A = this chain, B = another copy of it.
Amino acid sequence: MSSSEFGTDGVPLSWYNICADLGFALPSDLSSSQSTKTADRLRIPMSLLRQERSRARWIPIPEDVVDKYRQWRPTPLRRARALEDALETSCRLYYKYEGGNVSGSHKLNTAVAQAYFYRRAGRRRLTVGTGAGQWGTAIAAACAMFGLDCRVFMVRSSYEAKPHRKTMMELFGAEVVPSPSGSTEYGRRSLASGSDTGGSLGVALAEAVEDGMAPHSAFCAGSGETYALLHQSVIGLETHMQLEELEDRADVVVGSLGAGSNLGGIALPFLGSSLRGGPKLRVVSVEPAACPKLTRGRYAYDYTDASETSPLQKMYTLGHAFAPPTMHAAGLRYHGTSKLISALYARNYLEAVAYPQKAVFESAEIFARAEGIIPAPESAHAIHGARLIAAAADRNGDPRTIVICLSGHGLLDLGAYDAFHSGEMTDVDVSDEQIESSLAALPARRFRER
């Protein structure tokens, strides 16, 4: 098969695996004896591990997953004409909108796939850790679709500040536990230490990993795994075809960067087409200035969680001990990013920029007024990036076609907009010293390849 197949309704029937088109392999993960034990007990289904290691370009999407996708896919690709007018740009701006499903973000694309494979592997119950709640919501919805029980460890400060996310997860039948909790050893230790009762994503993940070792259960890793990026390729595959139907072509693809799944989802199918001789294009990652892993981090082996029990991945990281300042795009606060995105960035397949949140919200507000969608604070980073790219292209007298991944809506983030609107929002800065001290705690390379 030379390109993806689509159903007559435009839903992709296979995922795109860029590893087939790369001239290099991703660095292997490393493990300590502790993390080997963890990995063995994580019980990731063989089907997902095979996807992770596959060199096949096209991986058929199981029919049951395609059926679920049809509830909200294909998602719209819209020409942002009103935004173009508002920005007075000669560039053509498009956005791919992934916020129209029940979870409100692109995360459901991989959540349903993961729930499907875990269920087929005999698991009856999934555990996850969630910060702001997007990943938890997506997994809760996916578990409801496939009849799995679900327990979500939610960072306590978010649990208290964002009760609506909890309500949504409970609506889908999930049990939501504020973390640190008394229900795991790690949580109890964390509570006893008394240092961190508001919780953190690292602690929530560690609790979910521990709880996932219960019978018939499994911990469901977040959105930065290579197989998660594979599942997200439906975004870029659809966008590519939709642009073709509009007889247009992307010069620049822009996505915000957290763990990497929305940027990877939209960009990798375009990059792959380019690697196979198609037109060249720029891929631009936009991260928050408060959590600048690509722009200020180091390409090194690091843990993906704070408890130092996960295998180590080679990735751009600020150090697993890095505590990003509180900010409104909570979904972008992860200290590292996917090893696939990292490897591509290290080889200059991607560009990266970082912006402070007030500038990002200014662009979000212009977008909302023009296009009638309130962007998630995370997605707003991509909008702001596109706005600056368009302005630069206009200055150069060289208008471009720019595609934005609008990964989710901001209807559960209106408090952040209120803070911006009322002038209460401040920009949060990260000092070189903070990054240096966190990077100094990176693990020494004393682990064996897995």
Contact = CB atoms under 8 A, between A and B. Distances in A.
A172 B369 contact: yes
Number of copies: 2
Q: SS class of chain A's interface: helix, strand, loop or mixed?
A: helix
A368 B140 CA distance: 12
Contact of A374 (B78, B168, B374): B168
A11 to B, nearest CB: 14
Contact of A417 (B72, B171, B373, B412): B171
B168 A414 contact: yes
A171 B71 contact: no
Interface string A390-413: 000000000000000000000110
A147 to B, nearest CB: 11
Contacts of A164: 411, 414-415, 418
Contacts of A412: 411
A421 interface: yes
A277 interface: no
Contacts of A411: 104, 164, 411-412
A410 B392 CA distance: 40
A225 interface: no
Nearest to A170: B421
A102 B71 CA distance: 20
Interface in A353-390: 365, 368-369, 371-374
A369 B415 contact: no
Given A100-B100, A411-B411, A412-B411, A421 B372 contact: no
A369 B78 CA distance: 29
Contacts of A27: none
Contacts of A373: 102
Nearest to A99: B100
A240 B418 CA distance: 40
Nearest to A373: B102
Given A167-B421, A421-B171, A372 B71 contact: yes
Nearest to A103: B372
Given A104-B411, A412-B411, A171 B374 contact: yes
A440 B368 CA distance: 47
A163 interface: yes
Interface string A412-431: 10110110010000000000
- Interface centre among A71, A104, A141, A171, by most chain B C-beta atoms within 10 angstroms, is A171
Contact of A368 (B172, B365, B372): B172
A101 interface: yes
A350 interface: no
Nearest to A112: B372
- Interface centre among A167, A369, A415, by most chain B C-beta atoms within 10 angstroms, is A167
A19 to B, nearest CB: 31
Given A71-B371, A102-B373, A411-B411, 17 more contacts: A71-B78, A72-B372, A100-B100, A104-B411, A145-B372, A164-B414, A167-B414, A167-B415, A167-B417, A167-B421, A168-B374, A170-B421, A171-B368, A171-B374, A171-B421, A172-B368, A173-B369
Interface of A: 71-72, 78, 82, 100-102, 104, 141, 144-145, 163-164, 167-168, 170-173, 365, 368-369, 371-374, 411-412, 414-415, 417-418, 421
